[in-house]
């Protein structure tokens, strides 16, 4: 079956192989497909009616993707995500209130393992030991390995770290999304910083969820740095209205150069002294 894959917007993970398109059909495109798959990752892209109508003449249009609650099936390398990225499992046993994965994909499902240097599993460490061992075995033949899906610090064990040490690591990602995670994050940091420098230890930090204040969010980002990680701020965009201070905080803690400047005491870049600490309101927005 000949399939066109269409994406509303281009990201770092968008496929670049043949029959992958961004947005509307190219003006001179004269190709007929069996199916045209419009894949939406983000909820802000779900209004694809016009896009679908413009692709109808090229094949039967099917619309799906994470934004539409697609639970995901077997992973096909390079189909909906760029080559080099691999997904060896779907789902997660956690029930984090800010995360769509448990409801969308369910509990852990182990998939066939395909080669790739960027592992994007939602919770690889929740898989069976046998499966995890096979993933590490595959990764030994890869370079610049990136665990961009994140490793659950609450599940990190000594044998995982020994496996990580055997690989050519580019980046290991953990998450510090809530203050309750701090003991587990600290424990993971104590183990990982013995073998990996800050450049290889990244930490997702969800900010702005619930009634979190901007000072609390920044404190958590700074704590992640002090523990030996390079933090990456991820602003929760589901429900709340933000002032400019929140956008500035996000920008300054997801750009490495600015983050390093802040932590080296560059007062011109620091966002630590806000005059409006209650800038997050409870105004509701559509998801």
Q: What is the pLDDT of residue 178?
A: 92
CA distances from 12 to 51, 81, 94, 205, 271 (A): 21, 9, 27, 20, 28
Q: What is the DSSP string of 51-65?
A: HHHHHGGGSEEEEES
Does position 286 have pLDDT exceeding 60, yes or no? Answer: no
- pLDDT bracket for residue 283 (50, 70, 90): very low
Cβ neighbourhood burial of 212 (10 Å; 0-12, 13-18, 19+) = middle
DSSP labels for 122-148? S-GGGS-HHHHHHHHHHHTT-SSEEET
Task: Name the 3-class secondary structure at 264.
Answer: coil
Lowest mean per-residue pLDDT among 27-31, 36-40, 253-257, 283-287: 283-287
What integer pLDDT is reported at residue 172 of this predicted model?
Answer: 98
What's the pLDDT at 265? 81
Query: Does 281 score more than 90 pLDDT?
Result: no
Give pLDDT tens digits for 49-86.
999 999 999 999 999 999 999 999 999 999 999 999 99
**pTM of the prediction?**
0.87
Average pLDDT over residues 26-47: 92
If one compares 240 and 106, the residue with the highest pLDDT of the two is 106
CATH fold of 75-263 reads TIM Barrel (3.20.20)
**pLDDT interval class at 240 (50, 70, 90):** low
Residue 131 reports pLDDT greater than 90: yes
Is residue 274 over pLDDT 50?
A: no
- Structure confidence by residue, pLDDT tens digits, 94-111: 999 999 899 999 999 999
pLDDT for 241 equals: 79
Q: Where are the domains of the chain?
A: 3-66, 75-263
The pLDDT, as a whole number, for residue 268 is 44
Q: What is the model's pLDDT at position 239?
A: 59
Q: 279 pLDDT band (50/70/90 cuts)? A: very low
266 pLDDT tier (thresholds 50, 70, 90): low
pLDDT cut 70: percent of the chain above it: 92
Overall residue count recorded for the chain in this entry: 287
Nearest residue to 152 via CA among 117, 126, 179: 126
Query: pLDDT tens digit string along 151-192?
Result: 999 999 999 999 999 999 999 999 999 999 999 999 999 999
What end-to-end distance do the CA atoms of the chain give, in Å? 35
Contact indicator for 176, 223 with CB cutoff of 8 Å: yes
Strands (E) in the chain, as ranges, are 3-7, 20-22, 35-39, 60-64, 85-86, 89-90, 109-110, 118-119, 145-147, 169-175, 201-207, 230-235
Strands 169-175, 201-207: pairing is parallel
pLDDT (0 to 100) of residue 273: 36
- List pLDDT tens digits, range 3-15: 999 999 999 999 9
Q: Are 62 and 52 in contact (CB under 8 A)?
A: no
Mean pLDDT in residue range 210-237: 95
Res 212: pLDDT: 93
* pLDDT confidence tier of residue 42, bands split at 50, 70 and 90: confident
Query: Distance of CA 154 to CAs 126, 144, 188, 202, 204, Å?
Result: 10, 25, 8, 16, 14
């Amino acid at each position: 079956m000949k399939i066109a894959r269409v994406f509303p917007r281009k990201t770092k993970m968008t496929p670049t192989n043949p029959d992958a398109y961004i947005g509307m059909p190219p003006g001179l495109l004269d190709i007929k497909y069996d199916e045209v798959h419009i894949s939406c990752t983000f909820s802000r892209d779900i209004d694809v009616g016009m896009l679908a109508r413009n692709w109808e003449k090229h094949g039967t249009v099917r619309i799906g993707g994470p934004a539409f609650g697609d639970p995901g099936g077997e992973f096909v390398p390079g189909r909906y995500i760029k080559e080099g990225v691999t997904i060896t499992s779907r789902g997660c046993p956690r029930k984090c209130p800010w995360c769509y994965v448990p409801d969308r994909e369910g509990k852990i499902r182990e998939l066939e393992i395909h080669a790739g240097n960027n592992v994007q599993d939602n919770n690889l460490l929740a898989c069976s030991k046998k499966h995890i061992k096979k993933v590490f075995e595959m990764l030994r033949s890869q370079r610049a390995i990136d665990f961009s899906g994140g490793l659950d610090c609450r599940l990190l064990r000594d044998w995982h770290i020994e496996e990580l040490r055997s690989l050519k690591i580019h980046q290991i990602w953990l998450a510090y999304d809530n203050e309750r995670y701090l003991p587990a994050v600290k424990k993971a940091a104590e183990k990982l910083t013995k073998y990996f420098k800050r450049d290889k230890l990244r930490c997702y930090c969800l900010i702005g969820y619930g009634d979190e204040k901007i000072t609390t969010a920044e404190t958590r980002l700074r704590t992640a740095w002090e523990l030996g990680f390079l933090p990456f701020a991820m602003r929760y965009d589901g429900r709340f209205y933000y002032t400019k201070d929140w956008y500035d905080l996000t920008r300054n803690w997801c750009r490495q150069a600015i983050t390093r400047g802040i932590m080296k005491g560059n007062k011109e870049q620091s966002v630590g002294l806000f005059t409006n600490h209650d800038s997050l309101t409870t105004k509701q927005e559509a998801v």
